Amino acid sequence: MYNTRHFYNIFIHSIEDYHSSGDGRSHQAEARVNQPLSNPFPETTLDHLLYHKNRIDNIQWDLEDLIRNPGILPEDALQLKRRIDASNQQRTDTVEKMDDLFLEKYKQVTPLPDARLNTESIAWALDRLSILALKIYHMGIEAGRKDAGEAHQKKCREKLEVLHIQQHDLMLAIDELLEDIAAGRRIIKVYRQMKMYNDPALNPVLYNQKNK
């Protein structure tokens, strides 16, 4: 049976791999975002998608930091913005592939007459958990930053405590959702994101270029 402790451990595995691999400069965001992608899990498995999804989140975290450099050149910022857009699409595509696996797993379950809907799919809930794992990782670094002063460390430790409470609550909620779906108490239903800004057939700025 699926459980969020297993999922969360894969996210931690991905985070640790991302921040430990590289060419000796991997502590720098510029180097990390260009590391070759690798995945220790078989390609057709949910574990593979979970690891890949978190890897995308790691890269995007660094890209979002880099683009906020006040000294960045406009042309470099534009390239980063386009890379962030592409990363967002990869994230969406990966989450939807995860949902496909959940739909397949629970396709034989017949919902009970009083079964309820959920506000989001299983995979999009796991998307939140993946990002939460990253927040905990980075806030942990800030909570231990000796050069930032005790006041900064204290504030970050307090935030870290809240993040750990969120982690516990979200993992419990996802586990309960999985149990309810398996028992027919919740209806598993997926709506695709249908993002329009990356689609040349749906973004008017893009498709109007073809008519000029």
Write out the chain's pLDDT in tens, 212 residues.
689 999 999 999 999 999 986 544 445 888 899 888 889 999 999 999 999 999 999 999 999 999 999 999 999 999 999 999 999 999 999 999 999 999 999 999 999 999 999 999 999 999 999 999 999 999 999 999 888 889 999 999 999 999 999 999 999 999 999 999 999 999 998 887 767 777 777 677 766 777 66
The pTM score is 0.90
Asked if 195 and 92 count as a contact pair (C-beta separation under 8 A), the reply is yes
What's the confidence (pLDDT) of residue 21? Answer: 64
What's the confidence (pLDDT) of residue 151? Answer: 92
Q: From residue 11, give the alpha-carbon distance in Å to each of 16, 49, 182.
A: 9, 11, 24
What's the confidence (pLDDT) of residue 207? Answer: 67
What's the confidence (pLDDT) of residue 174? Answer: 97
Q: From the CB of residue 172, how many other CB atoms can be counted at a distance below 10 Å?
A: 11
Dihedral angle computed from the Cα positions of residues 74, 76, 77 and 82, in that order, rounded to the nearest 10 degrees: 130
CA 110, chain centre distance (Å)? 30
Q: From the CB of residue 95, how many other CB atoms can be counted at a distance below 10 Å?
A: 23
Spans of all domains in the chain: 4-209
Amino acid identity for residue 185 in this structure: R
What's the confidence (pLDDT) of residue 25? Answer: 44
Dihedral pair phi/psi, residue 36, rounded to 5°: -60, 140
Which neighbouring-strand residues pair with 67?
none
148: three-class secondary structure by DSSP: helix
197: three-class secondary structure by DSSP: coil
Q: Give the separation between CA 125 and CA 95, rounded to whole angstroms.
A: 10
What's the confidence (pLDDT) of residue 35? Answer: 86
What's the confidence (pLDDT) of residue 22? Answer: 54
Q: What six digits make up the tokens of 64?
A: 């979002």
